[in-house]
Amino acid sequence: MSSTQQNRQETGAEPATDFGAVIVGAGFSGLYMLHSLRDYLGLSARVLETGDGVGGTWYWNRYPGARSDSPSYIYCYSFSEDLRQEWDWTEKYPEQREMRGYLQHVAEQFDLNRDIRFSTQVVDASYDEDTKRWTIRTDSGEEMTAQFFIAAVGALSSANLPDIAGRDTFAGERYHTGQWPHEGVDFSGKRVGVIGTGATAIQAIPLIAREAEHLTVFQRTANYAIPARNGPVDPEVQQQRKADYDGIWDRIRQSYFGFELWFEDHGALEDPPEERERKYQAHWDEGGFALWLGNYMDIFFTREANDTVSEYMRRKIQERVDDPETAEKLTPRDHPFGTKRVPLETNYYEAFNRDNVTLVDVKSDPIQEITPTGLRTGDGGEYEFDVLVFATGFDAMTGPLNNINIRGRGGRLLRDRGRGGRLLRDKWAEGPATYLGLTSADFPNMFTITGPQSPSVLSNMPVSIEQHVEFVSRIISDMRERGAEVIEAAQQAEDEWVAHTQEVAHSTLLPQTATWYMGANIPGKPRVFMPYLGGVGNYRQHCDQVAANDYEGFVFSS
Ligand code: NA7
């Protein structure tokens, strides 16, 4: 029985269908958004969630080895001092079960479940200019209305199952890592194929290799992965952090990427080679993102600086792989280090030293088709398996939003004789267009939490999520004070923001690499750099300045 049905039975009342806000998604963003609007602002709010429990990313991604690549002490909420003090993390990089447990605990602690409708997918959301309200329709045909429509849908929640010929003919077990069965998968004694070598596959491969009879990995692009150096959290360190949480959060909120990591104050080529090597080695030994996000800043800007760290990484990979041919295949030579999302790994490269693991390079010999028994490559390679795992990522950032029929100004649900306004995905046909990654012109009273053109996936997500949730709450609270019912991005402000995000991105090396940041992993998706690269601290200050300047770039109406 759903919580709503239960409520109805207990109270005998018809369920509410009109809300202050409807929020889509019960992950990190949706949970805090609900708490903020309901418990701080007293707004009636309803969360609609596809899964049958809270957790978002940590609900869906249950593949072996799934864990956070951000350290636990900052991959969490900061908003509640009680929560910060009472929760103890067991590992530096918490695994999926612990992350989900944390979010379940938060939902219980703040009594959130009663306002979440689970197993409910939002199909349409449409703004009505006459009533100044959104109408939201779910997959069961139910409708509700709200003043605010808030998409807390996550940036990496729309699974990408590539349209490979014969895909659906495979007769064995088939899984996508982002839609993993809740009961788990037993690989023992089985021949397994994994397509993909992104951050997900790099976490899963060493564990699948240990269990499977044989594992074949199909790699299109070799990645530069850094050792995670995961381990238990030292209770003393945990206590020290608890005593300094305000300090830690002040620092990460003003940092570039939302971590306690800082760039060197000079360029890579200004240090002699031995000093550079010493620094790279120190970061390597420390593990985690330091080598990527706490290094010389110019590795993001010039090939010469970047070559020094790319070359260092290539050496490190080659040292760990026994077979020279396999080592060469695993060594990225087609893109600069750090221009794709850098995965963290534990025994990833060593997995390829096992007798039961084979690496197939599908860039030089592309997958031609999936067959009932396995897979065939262009050069005639035939591979058979019992289980096929798609670790093929997501239609990132815009995918989860474009999956909903979101209609803005002039919008009605389709059933109203097609008087619908423009669909968000049509507006975004050439790439996302937002003001601050938070709103889009012609879509009044709609907010996207960590949407495209905000720091989002180029940051430690909870830091960016909290900033967005708090900014949205502040906007709504200020609207009440000024008696405004509607807020919307001005077209000019949006145009300028889009141009700014592109200018910042294109001053770096990142857009030169085919990545999901660029939409390059999805055939036909526009190639536009989506996350904002201007830095978490700078972005926060900019948003605060916008609010201080009487919400410059926004238009209010009553
Ligand atoms: P990613 O990083 O998008 O990785 C997907 C992998 O799948 C990557 O190696 C792709 O190769 C590969 N891929 C995708 N489509 C195909 C086809 N058609 N054929 C062969 N190989 C393919 O997704 P992840 O789930 O690993 O990580 C996503 C984020 O989640 C991660 O960055 C964290 O932020 C959490 P490619 O590199 O495109 O050549």
8 Å CB contact between 48 and 138 = yes
Q: How far apart are CA 179 and CA 536, in angstroms?
A: 30
Here the CATH number for the domain that contains residue 175 is: 3.50.50.60
475 in a structural domain: yes
Residue owning the nearest CA to atom 37 of ligand 1 = 221
- What is the band of 409 on the pLDDT scale with cuts at 50, 70, 90? confident
| Total-model pTM | 0.96
Q: Whose CA is nearest to atom 14 of ligand 1?
A: 392
Indicate which residue's Cα is closest to atom 16 of ligand 1. 392
Provide the mean pLDDT of the chain. 95
The answer to whether residues 140 and 192 belong to one domain is no
Beta strands 133-138; 143-151: pairing state:
antiparallel
Residue with the bigger pLDDT between 414 and 514: it is 514
- The answer to whether residues 419 and 541 belong to one domain is yes
Tokens of 316: 């490190």
How confident is the model over 94-105, as a mean pLDDT? Answer: 98
Q: Whose CA is nearest to atom 18 of ligand 1?
A: 162
Q: For 436-472, how does the pLDDT look when each residue is reduced to its tens digit (9 = 90+)? A: 999 999 999 999 999 999 999 999 999 999 999 999 9
Atom 20 (ligand 1) nearest CA: 220
Residue nearest to atom 31 of ligand 1 (CA): 199
Same domain, 400 and 526: yes
Question: How confident is the model over 298-324, as pLDDT tens digits?
Answer: 999 999 999 999 999 999 999 999 999
**Domain match, 432 and 500 both:** yes
Say how many Å lie between the CA of residue 390 and the centre of ligand 1.
Answer: 9
| Closest ligand 1 atom number to CA of residue 390 | 7
Mean per-residue pLDDT, 34-53: 98
Task: Note whether residue 297 is domain-resident.
Answer: no
In a domain, 536, yes or no: yes
Whole-Å CA distances, 94 to 33, 87, 202, 237 = 23, 13, 16, 16
- Look up residue 218 and give its amino acid: F
Q: Is the model's pLDDT at 411 over the cut of 80?
A: no
Query: From ligand 1's centre to the CA of 347, what distance in Å?
Result: 19
Residue 110 pLDDT exceeds 70: yes
The protein residue whose alpha carbon is closest to atom 4 in ligand 1 is 198
Residue at 488 is within a domain: yes
530 and 510 in a single domain? The answer is yes
Residue 240, in any domain of the structure: no
Give the neighbor-by-neighbor strand order of the sheet with 374-377: 367-370, 374-377, 382-384
Atom of ligand 1 nearest to the CA of 514: 38
514 inside domain: yes
pLDDT higher than threshold 50 for residue 10 = no
Tokens of 478: 């200020």
Question: Is residue 515 located within the same domain as residue 541?
Answer: yes
Average pLDDT rounded to a whole number, residues 488-496: 97
Res 12 pLDDT > 70: no
C-alpha angle 220-523-171 in degrees, rounded to nearest 5 = 65
Give the range of the structural domain holding residue 410, as residue numbers without chain letter.
Answer: 14-54+112-158+396-557
Tell me what the mean pLDDT of segment 520-541 comes to: 98
> What's the burial of 485, exposed, middle or buried (CB within 10 Å: 0-12/13-18/19+)?
middle
Which pLDDT does position 16 carry in this prediction?
A: 75
Q: Are residues 200 and 117 part of one domain? A: no
CA distances from 412 to 52, 321, 399, 421, 426 (A): 29, 58, 22, 7, 16
Among 7-11, 130-134, 157-161, 516-520, the minimum mean pLDDT is found in 7-11
pLDDT digits (tens, 9 = 90+) for 336-364: 999 999 999 999 999 999 999 999 999 99
Q: Is the pLDDT confidence value at 70 over 90?
A: yes
Ramachandran sector of residue 415 (left: φ over 0; alpha: ψ -120 to 50; beta: rest)? alpha
Number of domains in the chain: 2
Same domain, 153 and 171: no
* pLDDT at site 367: 98
Q: Please tell me the predicted confidence (pLDDT) of residue 127.
A: 93
3-state SS, residue 317: helix
Whether 178 and 42 share a structural domain: no
Atom of ligand 1 lying closest to residue 367 CA: 19
Distance 199 CA to ligand 1 centre (A): 7
423 DSSP 8-state letter: B
User: Ligand 1: distance of its center to the CA of 395 in Å?
Assistant: 10
**pLDDT tens-place string over residues 122-178:** 999 999 988 999 999 999 999 999 999 999 999 999 999 999 999 999 999 999 999
Index of the ligand 1 atom closest to the CA of residue 199? 26
DSSP state of 355: T
Q: Is residue 226 part of a domain?
A: no
The pLDDT score that the predictor gives to residue 484 is 98
Among residues 180, 183, 178, 213, the alpha carbon closest in space to that of 198 is found at: 178
In a shared domain, residues 527 and 471: yes
Q: Which of 148, 135, 153, 141 minimizes the C-alpha distance to 411?
A: 135
Point out the ligand 1 atom lying closest to the alpha carbon of residue 520: 38
Q: For residues 438 and 483, state if they share a domain.
A: yes
Q: Are residues 424 and 538 in the same domain?
A: yes
Task: Tell me which of 338, 369, 393 is where a domain ends.
Answer: 393
Residues with CB under 6 A from ligand 1: 156, 162, 164, 177, 195-201, 218, 220-221, 341, 362, 367, 391-394, 457, 516, 521
| Residue 1 within a domain | no
Segment (H or E) for 46:
strand 45-48
Residue 14: the pLDDT is 67
